[in-house]
Amino acid sequence: MAIINKGKPRVAFLIVTVFLFASLNAQENQIKLKVVSELANIRNNADIGSMIIFQALRGAVFTSLGKEEEWYHIKYIQDSGETINGYVHESLVTEIKPPAAEKEEEKPEREAKESVELKEAKAPKTIIREQKTGPRAISEAPPFSISFSGGGNYVAGGDINKGAEGWANYNLDDLQIETQQNFKPVQLSLLFGGEISFPINKDLSLGIGADYLFGRKNSSFELSGISPETSLSVQPEVQALPLRVFLSCSVLPQLYVKSGVEYLMAKCSYLYRSEEGDAWKEWRGDARSQGLGIMAGLGFMFSVDSNISLFIETSGRIAKLNNFEGTHTYQDSEGLEYTEEGSLYIYDGQISKNVSYPLLFIRDKKPSEAGVSNPKKATIDFSGVSLKVGIKFRF
């Protein structure tokens, strides 16, 4: 006769019972978090510089999935049934403790209170709609950021440098003087700017911005061995206000790239001066123009706190502008002075049949006098690269 082992079914029943009890107990002990700040930023990663995926008002409740140092990994189930996972800093929430088991002697008091509440519930009353305190999507109140920066910029210069150097060499050749001093082109400039950015999603932002760049360089040539003592100086100058619209993309938590289109309002100036003893002559011109350019950049972000970050950024620009219009002024020590309004031209000024130098002046019409060849409207090249540091504020 077969012997039935009655112990195995009992062991299996005990294991199943323990497993179910553990599962129920784990659910009961699951940590709930409540927002205690006015507004809690829920981020995509456990990092203060990570993109904000939504915001929660005071009183919102989430389920904690775990903790990574100072960050809670939370879960939120929307009304549509979609689940959102994110991270919230521990300073913005508090854990909701499970209620302690009721004491037997408190049950009659609680039951009496529930009876009164039941009677009140049956009576007619005015319905007051309360404001929900659940998470607030970014689409309802999109955050934005403002940044300010400063640094240095390198510009190619173009005809503004070519014309200034040509004027110096033209006069040195005309005086038949050789000098060891070299012409210094305007290329390095100061740069200041600001931007406003609005997030499209957790990795992409749309922004507008403006910069101001200014560069000036003076080259002086002291000529010895001739009488009276003679000196020449040239001073090219460039200024620009680029206004841009750009897209910025976070490729890593602290690394971003950006590109956009710019509209430049630009100015260029020249100053040529010749001194012979007490006598002097001076040519000065200021011209303005506008045009389009493109830019692209790469930056690194360093978080200070939840709303402030520092960054360092390098960017490049392609922008060549022409059709400059302005005013030319001539003055000398004898009191002679005249002005001329027109366009900025560059042309070759001939010393001899085989020797000529590029000259840059504002003329009321296209130069065509003797000793002039290849006249054309000047092009000022604002293309170059910049390096700047700044601070960003999130709102």
CB 383 within 8 Å of CB 156: yes
Record the pTM: 0.66
CB 43 within 8 Å of CB 52: yes
CB atoms within 10 A of CB 16: 10
What would the pLDDT profile of 147-175 be if each residue is shown by its tens digit? 999 999 999 999 999 999 999 999 988 87
Per-residue pLDDT at 125: 45
Q: 160 by DSSP, 3-state: which? A: helix
Per-residue pLDDT at 129: 42
Tell me the pLDDT of the chain averaged across its residues.
Answer: 83
CA gap 194, 192 in Å, rounded:
7
Q: Per-block average pLDDT, block size 10, for the chain (395 residues)? A: 48 53 50 83 84 82 86 78 83 76 50 52 44 41 83 96 95 80 91 95 93 95 79 96 96 94 98 93 97 97 90 97 97 95 96 90 94 95 97 91
Per-residue pLDDT at 229: 83
Three-state SS for 318-332 is: ECEECCCEEEEEEEE
Q: Which of 185, 183, 193, 207 is nearest to 152 (CA)?
A: 193
**In which residue are the tokens 């493109």 written?**
294
The tokens for 278 are 């007490």
Per-residue pLDDT at 337: 95
Q: Which of 236, 217, 271 is nearest to 162 (CA)?
A: 236
User: Which residue ranges form the domains of the chain, and what is each CATH number?
Assistant: 7-96 (2.30.30.40), 145-394 (2.40.160)
Per-residue pLDDT at 12: 55
Rounded to 5 degrees, φ, ψ at 12 are: -60, -40
Per-residue pLDDT at 226: 73
CA gap 6, 343 in Å, rounded:
108
Per-residue pLDDT at 114: 54
CB 55 within 8 Å of CB 141: yes
CA gap 153, 258 in Å, rounded:
18
Per-residue pLDDT at 78: 67
